[in-house]
Amino acid sequence: MAVDLLDFDLEGLAAFCEGLGEKRFRAVQLFRWIHQKGASDFDAMSDLAKSLRTRLAGDAAIGALPVISEQASADGTVKWLFDVGGGNAVEAVFIPEDDRGTLCVSSQAGCAVGCRFCSTGHQGFSRNLRTGEIVAQLWHAEHRLRARRATAGADAGPGGAPLRMVDNVVMMGMGEPLQNYGALVPALRTMLDDHGYGLSRRRVTVSTSGVVPMIERLREDCPVALAVSLHAPDDALRDMLVPLNRKYPIAELMAACRAYLPVAPRDFVMFEYCMLDGVNDADAQARALVDLVRRERVPCKFNLIPFNPFPGSGLERSPPERVRAFQRILLDAGFVATVRRTRGDDIDAACGQLAGEVRDRTGAQARLARRRTIPLHPQNVARSLR
């Protein structure tokens, strides 16, 4: 079977080229053709010797993922559904903003963590994506969007260089990136490499539900911006919302965050908090959150994500005034706290709505279906039942 060159970071590609008797600078050329120019055909690589091109065409491939669908939202958001074989499909979402473009990338077909409020989690887990399948999402989005821009007649950057479309990557699509660590790290390196996508470490974010030992390894191997999906101020509630908390409770998670920051490209951790009506959105819980991060001394910001409903979740989105009241408590305590604007609503591209298609190999669907109910915060029961 042909080797997928998207599976390699530059070091990996250099080793592969060495195996073909080629010098490192050939790997650099090849890497630039693939990632910077979006080449999918070895014949187009005009500065590589014909003999090498023929050899590559025989032994290797640039493993673009088949696109099942591309949907564009009225607000400019674009969502792709990619076929990763075996009845599985994963999604990536491009979110344009005034001054930058963000791509939300998937790391697994499904997810084994099984968070209560997450559509991917409800689908169960099929398999880890390979490095090449993670990178292929960025490769496709970047070059597809550039082509669309060129068709629209927009200009190139200084010296005719194509302007980059994706400036930010967030590993916030389907899957838990730190449960696919071996494939994740070379993918991150390709994103960061100046011969690859040249993204700044501050603009590549790994979002995790809290795989503590892998946060520690990421610190050593490839520190990028860190987002942690917290969702609750105490272990009792977090155990229910994010089952991984039973293995790595909040105190351990906070310790891992503290240890990560000295080498991180940003001097804070972004805590994500999905706002669930009557479950985790009370004033008392906001105050408990403030106490928690002060006690644990973790420099942080908060990103409040109004829950995006999906069929069968059994949960409701917190009302806007509740989100604002919760945010106010964090702001008054001196924290930066933003509310994530929902984008791509009309194409189901918002956080936690990425569903793709997953062959559940773990029985998670059935397990979650048995756990449909979640106890409400006592002071909120009355409001939620209204």
Least CB distance from residue 199 to ligand SAH, whole Å? 18
- Does residue 229 touch ligand SAH according to CB under 6 A? yes
- Does residue 209 touch ligand SF4 according to CB under 6 A? yes
In angstroms, what is the C-alpha Rg of the chain? 22
- Does residue 176 touch ligand SAH according to CB under 6 A? yes
- The residues in 301-340 that bind ligand SAH, with binding defined as CB under 6 A, are 305, 307-308
In this complex, which beta carbon is closest to ligand SAH, that of residue 94 or of residue 117? 117
Least CB distance from residue 344 to ligand SAH, whole Å? 13
- Does residue 168 touch ligand SAH according to CB under 6 A? no
Q: Which of 233, 224, 228 is nearest to 265 (CA)?
A: 224
In this complex, which beta carbon is closest to ligand SF4, that of residue 38 or of residue 173? 173
Number of H helices, E strands in the chain: 13, 14
Q: Which of 145, 170, 116 is nearest to 343 (CA)?
A: 170
Interacting partner of 114 out of ligand SAH, ligand SF4, none (Cβ under 5 to 8 A depending on kind):
ligand SF4
CA distance linking residue 245 with residue 360, whole number of Å: 22
- The residues in 273-312 that bind ligand SF4, with binding defined as CB under 6 A, are none
Quickly list H helices, the chain. 10-19, 24-31, 50-59, 119-123, 131-151, 181-192, 212-221, 235-241, 250-260, 283-296, 320-332, 364-370, 378-385
In this complex, which beta carbon is closest to ligand SAH, that of residue 136 or of residue 274? 274
CA angle 96, 102, 104 (to 5 degrees): 120
Size of the site for ligand SF4 (CB under 6 A): 11
Q: How many CB atoms lie within 10 A of CB 271?
A: 24
Q: State the DSSP code for 323.
A: H
Interacting partner of 180 out of ligand SF4, ligand SAH, none (Cβ under 5 to 8 A depending on kind):
none
Burial 220-231 (b: 16+ CB within 10 A, else e): eebbbbbbbbbb
Name the site residues for ligand SAH (rule: CB under 6 A).
Answer: 117-119, 172, 176, 207-209, 229, 272, 274, 305, 307-308, 351-352
Name the site residues for ligand SF4 (rule: CB under 6 A).
Answer: 111, 113-115, 118, 120-121, 175-176, 209, 229
User: Active-site residue numbers?
Assistant: 91, 351
